[in-house]
Structure 1
Amino acid sequence: MVAYLIRRLVQAVLILIGVSFVTFVLLYLVPADPARQIAGRSATAATVESIREQLGLNLPFYEQYWRYFVNLIQGDFGRSYIQKSQVGELIAARLPPTLLLMAAAICAELVFGLTMGVIAAANRRRIGDNLLMIVSFVGVSAPQFVVGILLLYLFAVKLGWFPIGGYGTAAHIVLPALSLGFLGAGWYSRMMRSSMLDVLEQDYVRTARAKGAGRWRVIVAHAVPNALLPVIAMIGIDIGLFMSGIVVVESVFGWPGIGQLAWQAIQRVDIPVIMGVTVVSATAIVLGNLLADLVAPFIDPRIKLR
């Protein structure tokens, strides 16, 4: 276990270095000029050049990246060009809302998705199976902003059960979490159904049935735990995606998360913020996958970490 953790952590560090380098290259090649945006349209060429020199944007690429990398390994994400604040502080301020929404959304998609997948597999090729797969297909296909607006209109505007937007109470998180959970539930239900169908054909399931175990006891006690492995791996990926990829939902509901911070930074070519959010999101994906791998042996003892 220790050797496995060391090896995975070394791999994680190399991956994060690669992500930071590739992202830095792409931002370096962007034709927009951050110095010009900071200075404003009416600024003189001398003013723009002075800002570029202060920010180190006049240095060769390798020097710019080396300076950024040295600061990064010391925990310094740099300073926002636009907001004039430390990127680490900006991300830290947006992190709690993002983590809260991420946890609620994952819970929502697991509850609905796994339930739908298990019921569909238990009723294979029946009406219930077909109906649930249609619902999952709609969930996978529906745009997030459409789902968010519909939920907002129905439950906030018409029924008044939840606030229209904002952040601060438990009621504020329900609709954003359901919007994200509806999309994720579609993927999880299809994956769980496929995994369940494979497990239900295994010999140990037939043996349990032959011994007289009830249908749902076989499904819940024997099939479901062994069908969860692909789901666990997907949760690790979702952690990283929800860290930065929920811009639309955050915008619809006015949720002050990292995704909205990243979108604002992209619009303004605020390179330090874009780099910071990218590195944090990549770290979340790597750690999420590592956590999924570590949990897998507890679900299935046959899996060995090597």
Structure 2
Amino acid sequence: MAVYLLRRLFQAVLILVGVSFVTFALLYLLPADPVRQIAGRTASPQMVENIRTQLGLDQPFLVQYGRYFMGLLQGDLGRSYLQRSEVAELIGARLPASLLLMAAAIGTELVIGVSMGLIAAVRRGSGTDQALMVASFVGVSAPQFVVGLLLLYVFAYQLGWFPIGGYGTWRHLVLPALTLGIIGAGWYSRMMRSSMIDVLRQDYIRTARAKGLGGRTILIRHALPNAILPVIAMIGIDIGLFMSGIVVVEGVFGWPGIGQLAWQAIQRVDLPIIMGVTLVSAVAIVLGNLLADLLAPFVDPRIKLR
């Protein structure tokens, strides 16, 4: 286990270095000029150049990236051009809200998706199966901002069950978590159905039935732990999808997380914040995949970490 963790952590470091380099290069090549955003429209050319020199943006690409990378090694994500605050502090203040939303969304998609997949697999070929698969297809295909606005209109504006936006209580959490969870639930239900159908065909399931075990016992204790393995593997990947989709959802619901912070930074071309959010997202993806790999042996002891 220790050797496996060390190897994965070394791979994670290489991935994060690669992400930082590629992201920095893409932002460097952007046609938008962050100095113009800082200086304002009325600034003179001399003032613009002075600001560019102060920020070190007149240096060659490798010099700029080298300075940024050395700061990363010391835990420094830089300083916001416009907010004049440390990026690490800005992200740290917003991260708990995003993590709360992500955890709620993952729980939502697992409950909905796994349940739909189980029911569809058990009732394969029936009208219920077809209806659930159509619903999952619609969930996967629907844009997040459309789902969010629709939920807001029905449950917040028309029915008044939940607040239109904001943060602070469980009522504020329900609609954004459901918006993020619907798409994942669609994927999970289709994956769970396929995996469960395959497991139910295995010889050990036939043996369990021949021994007289009940259908519910076979399904929950014998089939589910094996059928759910692909779903567990997808959770790590889903964290990356959430970190991209969370920008839209937080904007729609006014959720004060790092997605909203990233969107504001993109509009203002605040490069240090964009870099910081990207790196935090990459760390979340790497840790999510590592966690999924570590959980797999506990679900199925036949799996060995190597």
What interval of TM-score do these two structures reach, taking the shorter chain for normalisation?
A: over 0.9
Q: Output the CA distance in 2 between the equivalents of 1:55 and 1:225.
A: 54
Deviation at 1:277, TM superposition (A): 0.4
Instruction: Tell me which amino acid in the other structure corresponds to 2:297.
Output: P
Residue of structure 1 in register with 2:19 after alignment: 19
| Equivalent in the alignment of 1:125 | 125
Q: Which runs of 5+ in 1 are unaligned?
A: none
- In structure 1, the partner of 2:7 is 7
2:175 aligned partner: 175
Tell me the TM-score normalized by structure 2.
Answer: 0.98
1:240 Cα deviation from its structure 2 partner: 2.9
Specify every segment of 5 or more residues in structure 2 that has no aligned partner in the other structure, as ranges. Answer: none
Deviation at 1:65, TM superposition (A): 0.4
Task: Give, in whole Å, the separation in 1 of the partners of 2:117 and 2:209.
Answer: 21
Deviations 1:253-277 (A, max 9, x none): 1111111111111111111001000
Task: List per-residue Cα deviations over 1:26-46 (Å, max 9, x = no partner).
Answer: 011111111122111111111
Deviation of 1:242 after TM superposition, in Å, equals 2.1
Using structure 1 for the length normalisation, give the TM-score.
Answer: 0.98
Distance 2:46 2:279 in 1: 33
Match of 2:229 in 1: 229
1:271-302 per-residue CA deviation (whole Å, 9 max, x = no partner) reads 10010000000000000000110111111111
Map Cα deviations across residues 232-253 of structure 1 (whole Å, 9 max, x no partner).
Answer: 1111112233234312211111
8 Å contact from structure 1 (residues 241, 281) kept in 2:
no
Contact 2:77–2:86 (Cα < 8 Å) also in 1: yes
Runs of 4+ more than 3 Å apart: none
Deviations 1:170-197 (A, max 9, x none): 1110111111111111011001111111
RMSD across aligned positions (CA) = 0.9
Q: 1:108: which partner in 2?
A: 108
Residue identity (%) = 75
Aligned residues: 306
Alignment-derived partner of residue 79 in structure 2? 79
Deviations 1:108-149 (A, max 9, x none): 100000000000000111111101001101100111111111
1:207-227 CA deviation, whole Å, 9 max, x = no partner? 111111122221111111111
1:207 is aligned to: 207
Could you say which residue in structure 2 is the equivalent of 1:158? 158
1: distance between equivalents of 2:60 and 2:153?
Answer: 52
Q: Does the 8 A contact of 1:247 with 1:263 survive in 2?
A: yes
Instruction: Report the Cα distance in structure 1 between the residues aligned to 2:97 and 2:25, rounded to whole angstroms.
Output: 30
In structure 1, C-alpha distance between the alignment counterparts of 2:278 and 2:149, rounded to whole Å: 28
> Following superposition of structure 1 onto structure 2, how do residues 31-42 of structure 1 map, counting pairs within 5 Å?
31-42=31-42
Query: After alignment, is 48-57 or 260-269 more displaced?
Result: 260-269
Contact between 1:244 and 1:277, CA under 8 Å: does it hold in 2? no
